[in-house]
Structure formats: C-alpha cells, structure tokens
Structure 1
Amino acid sequence: MRYAKKTGYVLALILFLIFTAGPFVWTFILSVTPEHAMFTGDGGLLPETVIWDNYTELFSGGQRGSRFFVSLGNSLKAAGLTLCIGIPVALVSAYVLGRMRFRGRELIRSLLLITMVIPVMATIIPLYRMFAEGELLDSLFWLTLVYISSYLPMAVWLISNYFSTIPGELEEAALIDGCGRVQSFLRLILPLSRPIILSVALIMFLNTWSQFQIPLILASSMETKPMAIVVSEFVTKDSIQYGLVAAAGMLALIPPAVAALVFRRYLVAGMTSGSVKG
C-alpha cells in the first residue's frame, strides 16, 4: 500500500509538471525552431536544427525589437507605479478597517467583497467614456490608477484581515509607552505584517504585468502600450511569426519569474494568513 501511494504521488507530480511547465518548455522549443520546420509532419518534439534568430532579432535594435523593449519598460513602469501608489493606500485603508471600530465598518467590508466579483469588461465601457471626456486616454499614470482601483479591494481585504489578528494588547502597550498611532503602526504593525504585504505586492505586480484587456482599450501609443499588447501585434493578418512571438514570450517571463522566485515563501505565508476572516 505504501508503494502504491508513492507511485500515485509521483504520477500526480509528473502530471502537474506536464500541465504547468509543459507550455513553457514547448514555447521555448518553438522559439528556437526554424519557421519552416514547425509545419513539417515528420518532425519530432525537438527540432533538428536549433536557431537563435528570433532572439537575435529582438536584441538587434530593429523595429520589432525596439517596440518590444519599449513596451517592456512600459510594463515595468506601470508595475512600479502600481506598487508605489497601491500598497500605501491599501495599508492605510486596511489599518482603518482592521484595527479601528466605527459605524459602517462591516458594510464597507461587505462592499469590498462585492467589488471583487465585478468583471473588468462590465466597467471598461464607462471607463473609456470617462477617460475620453476627460482627455485621459493614452496616459500611463491614469492607466495605472485603473489597475490600482481593480486591485485595492482584494489587497485591503487580505491585509485588513491580517491586521485584525494582531493582538490589541500589543498596540495598547505601545500607546501607553508614549508611541502614537502612527509610530505604533510603523514600528509594530508593519514589521509583523511583512509576509502579507509582500505577498499582496507580488500579486499586484504579476497582475499588472499580465494586463491585456484594460490597456487594449485605454492605451493606443507606444508610450503607454504594455508588453502583452505589443507581443500580440506581432501577429498580423498577413503572417504569424510563431518563433518570434514565442521568443518574446520567453523574454517577457523573466521579470515575473524572478519576482515569484524571490518572494515565493512570502506568497504562501501571506495568502494563508490574510485569508483568515477578521
């Protein structure tokens, strides 16, 4: 029975790796496969000839390579702005909801849950009209504010739930020792909440990095288009360069992959602690 369980675990792990890592491996293989070899019926899983032309084209400084790296910079700027603005706002809001008692507090928490289930496409048309009338279209800053507004309910909910689990006696002792609320928040609450804060920051970064629908409507120039939009434009009505799209996709994976690897231990710990209802 013990060997049967181990065999089952191994098979489950293999299936998990196939379904999770398999698409990335297949994308890399496409990125180094000659274009003509992709459509031959007698080819195997691995190409007979490995080429790096697609990566060379992206790094050569040509039109497509330049557009790709400009869009990569736009995505990094948007992610940075999202974290610099969204995390402080989420922390202050979460502290008020998690540590203070006032009339209407539970109603606000319930409304946060409701806003989480509203699909983005239900609000994109009103957002477009607002942006068009206010001449806010094609602005990286205002586009970032839309991202932040869509992430804040989740961020505030998770962080406030964690804040509410911190014993009130600790904060009361800090207040008795002469620390104000701001000092106790900075010296006590924030250090204890580092896992949930970093996990929320990572989620906001990954979601911003993969945005497609919102910038597709609100961003139209190369000064604001993120990486996902520009990569999709490599596919035209006349031709599809599968290898180039795959190479761009592999390069676009590097920043979120590095972020996920660096902060992976905070992601699990933070999501677990933040999911506890306060």
Structure 2
Amino acid sequence: MAAQSLVLLLSFLIVALVKQSHGAGIAVYWGQDSGEGTLADACATGNYAYVNIAFLTTFGNGQTPVLNLAGHCDPSSNTCTSLSNDIRACQSQGIKVLLSIGGATGSYSLSSTDDATQVANYLWNNYLGGQSNSRPLGDAILDGIDFDIESGSGQYWDELARALAGFTQQKVYLAAAPQCPFPDAHLSGAISTGLFDYVWVQFYNNLPCQYSSNADNLISAWNQWTTVQASQLFLGLPAAAEAAPSGGFIPADVLASEVLPTIKGSSKYGGVMLWSKKFDNGYSSAIKSSV
C-alpha cells in the first residue's frame, strides 16, 4: 500500500510540475508610446512571456499597409528595421513576439476571402517567415499575429486566420484581443475556427463585464469565454487606472486575492494580458508571482 501511495503521490507531483512548466504568463502591448522604453528593455524585465508590437493600423481593402509605432521609429524612413535585434533578444529569452494588427483607431477592413489571403501573404512576407525587400522590422522573424480588431464588420477575419495558419514553413502563433462582452462583435467568427493559440480578453473599458467594486460580472463573463475554442485564455487588464479611462483596473492585491484564485481553476487559463508597457510601472512585477 505504501508503494502504491508513493506512486500516486509522484503521479500528482508530475502532473503539477507539467502544468506549472506549461506555465501561465503575462502578455503586454508595446509600441504606442516612445516613453515606454525599448522593446529589448521590456523583455529584459523578465516579467513578460509574450509581447505584442502594436500596431499595424492600416491594411486590407486595397490599402497600403501602415505600421504605426508612435515615436519609437518611422517605418516610412526605414528606421524600424533596427528593432530586429531587439526582437531576437526577446526571443532568445523564450519570449514570443507578435505583430498586433488593428487597434482602436486604425483604418482596416477585409472585403473578401481573396483580400484576406492577400493580407496574409503580406504579413507572411514582411513580418513572418517569408521574404520581401521591404520588411518594416528588418529580417527578424516574428512568432505570430495578434488580432486586435475593434471596428468594422466581423467578416473575413476567420479567412485571415485560416490563411495564416496555412503557412507550414513556420508555426504562426495566432492571438486575439476581443472585448469582454460575449460573444465579441468583431472576432467571434475568427475565434470559432479553433485556430487561435491565445485569446486575451479585454476586461476593461467594458462596464458590463469588467471589475467594478467586485468581481461578479467579470467572473460571469470569464466563464462564458472559457467555452471558446482556443488553446489558452488570458485575463486582459489595464496596467494602471489611467490606462483605461472607462474602468476595469484591479489593484494587484485584489487581483491576487479575489480574482485569480477563481479563474485559475479553468484548464484554459493562460495568464494575464496588460495594456500597456507605457502604464506598467510596477504592476507586472507585483502580480507576477500570483499569475
């Protein structure tokens, strides 16, 4: 019996270690404020497992794609190619670096399946494992694409996901950043493909489902989101109160005591996403051990 008990205990420990090594992590958005420091500096904090370079603000429907990294660099002057070294530095630490497309104020849309395919080809050749003479971030190969689609219709984003997943020369990680009201108006169809590795839901600037004096609405919405076909689900939060004018900020101690113990029970729990590096002045450090 003692031997059986020991085997059982070892089995539990192995399962626990495997789950831990699979690991929850923190994702962050970087690129929308020149005062947030360099990409390499962000990765060097050791706080992040994923970094979304934000944003490719213009693309699709015949438009010339535009990368907007605020004051960090100017793609039109080819000064963003220097980011290749930073990207490789992040990746050498095991951090996945994705390009975030869309954003709250971008000019983007997809008009057809063919349009989605063209955008996928552009992303592959200019940011992923393909080849182009005009790679805005230089020759570094990003790990994937984040869909932060907040305007327009929900049409053809599923087709874009399928086209990106079709590049077999490289595993293209797919992420999505839907709003917390379920289902998301723009990304529901895309997420339903089951192709997304990470879904970091924006539980902020959304009164019906964000934290507001208690976690009841947030937990209710989180439970709805756990039903989606995605590998991992993340709790998207503002890194400071001023990062989300319409609310949703959760103090680090409250997050650790009231929210994370409940949502971590989900087998799809992947961690926490933060908006954004500009506002993260100690928040990720404060929550890291709880995530």
Fold shared, TM-score > 0.5 on shorter chain: no
Structure with bigger helix share is 1
Structure with bigger strand share is 2
Q: Using structure 1 for the length normalisation, give the TM-score.
A: 0.24
* More contact order relative to length (CA 8 Å, sep ≥ 6): 1
Q: Using structure 2 for the length normalisation, give the TM-score.
A: 0.24
Question: Which structure has the greater CA radius of gyration?
Answer: 1
